[in-house]
Amino acid sequence: MEPYELSFTEASAMIAAKELSPVELTESSLKRIGEVEPDIHAYVTMTEELALTQARRAEKEIAAGNYKGPLHGIPLGVKDLYDTEGILTTSSSEVRAGYVPDADSVSVQKLTAAGMVVVGKTQTHEFAFGATTPTTRNPWDTSTVPGGSSGGSGATIASGGVTVALGSDTGGSIRIPASVCGTVGIKPTYGRAPRVGVASLSWSLDHVGPLTRNVREAALVMAAMSGYDRRDPASVNKPVPDWTPDLGGSVKGTRIGIPKNFYNERVQPEMWEASMAAANVLEGLGAELVEVEIPLADKVLSTAWTIMLAEAGAYHQEALRATPELFTDEVRTLLEVGEGVLATSYINALRTRTLMQQGWRDMYADIDVLLAPTVPGPAASADNPVFEWAADDIEGATTAYSRVCAPGNLTGLPAISMPVGYTADGGLPLGAQVIGRPFREGDVLRVASVYENATDHIGTLAPLKAAS
């Protein structure tokens, strides 16, 4: 087995025991990225020299007895929305083609302080405004999309380039690529992790978090990224617990909500069946399944898009007016639509979101977590990224993917996507999400880890099937 094939948990244990060098692991990671990058294009910028410098530093620190913990010496991919000092940070856009930050984002600061090794900047749908990441391909089948907007992060994990990569989630952009690339991806409670130094898509919907190969890794990295920061107006000053002791524990008595509406509508049968099979596994381990009604389900997509369009239009207003030609046609059109959103429409959407949040709080009086499909189907075709529900009912992949993830952003609740199976015809990954109560990330991590331990879906690397 090559070092890159090890899970982060396995590699970390070997590094701690001085059985594996961070330099050896980083070199293996960089070699693997070089092998697969021509097929998947997961990176905007590689940072080989920096990575090897950080790996050598980690090796010396550990040899001297200064082991910092399980993140020490582990390679990391950083979504190109995150500022990195002295390293090109383009948001996968010509608008920022020459932008080199003079400081790291808070998340990168925290993770490199914990000893992680930055191997490169991963591709995103331009400014995170989309769910397919057109620059990148899915390593499970390179004729399909990797999801988005954190598509580069999902693709590099699934192909073995790294075991951890950073993402952001405004309408599902961590969970979508996690689902279609067969990885784990966690979005924390809104305000749990600071977003300082990360390009915004929609201030009131943006979350930061990691994609990983398994749940324990997600818990460790999410904890390291979390904590109060006064520079982020949304940041909440709450203690960050150690979530790892409860992983792999018991779900006996845990009330798992099963939606009677919304999540089972305009969803491919295989996706719904795989999610319900996961629920049945958890029920067999002692959980209680409780049917619930999703409140204001018919308002989800319109509310999310109104807020996102208006806030994105405001964020990019200056650049859109100065250099509109530098945006892709797709994103420029969305931003122009955002500038046309009426103030009354935006305020009404905010009011509707408040009603949704109240409705979800009431729903959680009867459950501890909700389990549902992460997205309506597997990875869409890169050439024609749509879902066809009927002859006259075709839905673009970005709308379809974000439609099912958007409630987690509108409510700000913690959510994790985990692999729950594969399509019968093409072997593409299928994912389900567990959504919890505010600041109860431990609940979603525990439920996901119990399922992970009971199955063999999590942590599998893609076979890199080439496009025909």
Beta bridge partners of 259: 292
Among 12, 21, 107, 149, the active-site one is 149
By the 8 A CB rule, do 217 and 193 touch? no
Which residues are within 8 A (CB) of 382 and not within 5 positions of it... i.e. 6 or more apart? Answer: 132, 134, 137, 138, 143, 144, 145
Among 79, 110, 121, 187, the active-site one is 79
At residue 164, φ and ψ (nearest 5 deg) are -140, 135
CA distance 442 to 318: 41
Q: Is 252 tagged catalytic?
A: no
CA distance 387 to 394: 6
Q: Is 79 tagged catalytic?
A: yes
The token pair that represents 33 in the structure block: 């990225």
Q: Which residues of 272-282 are buried (b: 16+ CB within 10 A; e: fewer)?
A: bebbbebbebb
Q: Which amino acid is at 205?
A: L
For 72, 114, 134, 248, 402, the CA distances from 61, given in Å and listed in that order, are: 9, 12, 40, 31, 43
Q: Which residues of 203-222 are buried (b: 16+ CB within 10 A; e: fewer)?
A: bbbbbbbbbbbbbbbbbbbb
Among 173, 200, 226, 449, the active-site one is 173
Q: Which are the catalytic amino acids?
A: 79, 149, 173
